[in-house]
Amino acid sequence: MSHVLEDVLQESADSLKASGAESPRLDVRMLASAVLECSPKDVLMQSTATMRDQDYDRFQELVSRRCKGEPVSRIIGVREFWSLPFSLSADTLDPRPDSETIIEAALKIHSDSAVKSLSVLDAGTGTGCLLLALLSEWTSASGVGVDISVGAIKTAHANAVDLGMAQRAHFVVGDWLGSVGGQFDVIVSNPPYIREEEIPALSPDVRLYDPQLALLGGADGLAAYRKLIPECRQLLCPGGVLVLELGRGQEADVSHIIEAEGLGRIESHRDLNGIVRCLSATVAQKKVGKSKQAGYDNFTNENLD
């Protein structure tokens, strides 16, 4: 039986649309590109080509998974973030475009730092997307990613290797920042901030496929901030910057926690939908003396390959 790609894509897009997928045409192109090992653009250019039987069968398996609600990024195992490809695993959050607000905020604050040797800490690193996106912009910077999940740390290290940043990005397993020493110029984090009562109402692609550990922020959604912000304060050097993602409506509560730790210059940063998506704050700069930078010799990527 002949499987003309154009016809296969149309039939599959119709199936996805009937299942409730929001972007069926884009989804089928992404899935076909994974099967055919080419770009989504190349899929369109090959629309009159014929799929081999084994490719067709594999493609139908992926479409079936998408029809059941599994996100495309989970199916193909990759999500683009800050124009960089990040491999996913069951232990990592699927990076979303909203989190790029953290990168934009950090780059705005350190707009002249492309050539400076900044030290960066990513708390709850997951795929490593925040740390590695910043290192891709700050080419003389180095950093540490921390996560409680061994699987997430292995995924983040693999991403650093794939992106050519393994020499500048180091990863360590830890319950937030208790095992980290030294001081950092920039600390970023996308902590879990969803309230317990909100979990059942999350969309299936989040509720069923993202790890609960990366979502659940306690009864009021603020548990991670109460533990994380004091630890960040101890690790930020004078003039250091903290940038935290937060959920809708959490700006005031998180600001109060930040203020209680003596951090100043709190600024809010909105995502593309106009929602306050992250807060930044700064440690007061000392008038004399030099700050102690992070001791990267304490962090290794051993046993992560």
**Are both 52 and 111 inside the same structural domain?**
no
Cα 179 to Cα 113: distance, rounded to the nearest angstrom: 27
Q: Assess if residue 68 is contained within a domain.
A: yes
- Pairing relationship of beta strands 84-87 and 119-123 according to DSSP bridges: unpaired
Local structure of 182: helix, strand or coil = coil
**Are both 29 and 167 inside the same structural domain?**
no
Structure token digits, residue 238 = 């004078």
Cα 229 to Cα 120: distance, rounded to the nearest angstrom: 15
Number of Cβ within a 10 Å radius of residue 20: 10
Cα 241 to Cα 166: distance, rounded to the nearest angstrom: 24
Residue 113 has what pLDDT? 65
Which of 30, 45, 76 lies at the terminal end of a domain, its last residue?
76
What is the CB-side half-sphere exposure of residue 266 using CA atoms within 13 A?
18
Q: What is the CATH number of the domain that holds 102?
A: 3.40.50.150
Q: What pTM was computed for the model?
A: 0.89
Q: Assess if residue 139 is contained within a domain.
A: yes
**Are both 192 and 223 inside the same structural domain?**
yes
Q: Assess if residue 83 is contained within a domain.
A: no
Which of 49, 76, 103 lies at the terminal end of a domain, its last residue?
76
Q: Assess if residue 304 is contained within a domain.
A: no
Number of Cβ within a 10 Å radius of residue 283: 23
Domain of 12 in residue numbering reads as 5-76
Number of Cβ within a 10 Å radius of residue 175: 10
Q: What contacts 24+ positions apart, CB below 8 Å, involve 15-24?
A: 15/63, 15/67, 16/63, 16/66, 16/67, 19/66, 19/67, 19/68, 19/69, 21/66, 21/67
pLDDT digit string, tens, across residues 36-95: 988 888 888 887 888 899 999 999 999 999 999 999 999 999 999 999 999 999 999 999
Whole-angstrom CA distances from 301 to 85, 90, 136 are 20, 20, 19
Number of domains making up the chain:
2
- Pairing relationship of beta strands 236-245 and 264-270 according to DSSP bridges: unpaired
**Are both 62 and 101 inside the same structural domain?**
no
**Are both 71 and 135 inside the same structural domain?**
no
Residue 293 has what pLDDT? 47
Label residues 292-305 b or e (16+ Cβ within 10 Å = b). Answer: eebeeeebebeebe
Number of Cβ within a 10 Å radius of residue 260: 12
**Are both 27 and 124 inside the same structural domain?**
no
**Rg of the chain in Å (alpha carbons):** 21
* Cβ atoms of residues 229 and 258 within 8 Å: yes
**Are both 180 and 235 inside the same structural domain?**
yes
Residue 48 has what pLDDT? 81
**Are both 165 and 249 inside the same structural domain?**
yes
Question: Which one, of 2, 3, 27, lies nearest residue 16 by Cα?
Answer: 27
Q: Assess if residue 81 is contained within a domain.
A: no
**Are both 18 and 144 inside the same structural domain?**
no
Q: Assess if residue 222 is contained within a domain.
A: yes
**Are both 111 and 238 inside the same structural domain?**
yes
Residue 77 has what pLDDT? 95
Residue 203 has what pLDDT? 87
Q: What is the CATH number of the domain that holds 63?
A: 1.10.8.10
Q: Assess if residue 47 is contained within a domain.
A: yes
Residue 42 has what pLDDT? 87
**Are both 17 and 108 inside the same structural domain?**
no
Q: Assess if residue 303 is contained within a domain.
A: no
Which of 76, 102, 124 lies at the terminal end of a domain, its last residue?
76
**Are both 135 and 283 inside the same structural domain?**
yes
Q: Which amino acid is at 4?
A: V
Cα 222 to Cα 289: distance, rounded to the nearest angstrom: 35
Under-70 pLDDT residues of the chain: 1-2, 113-115, 286-305
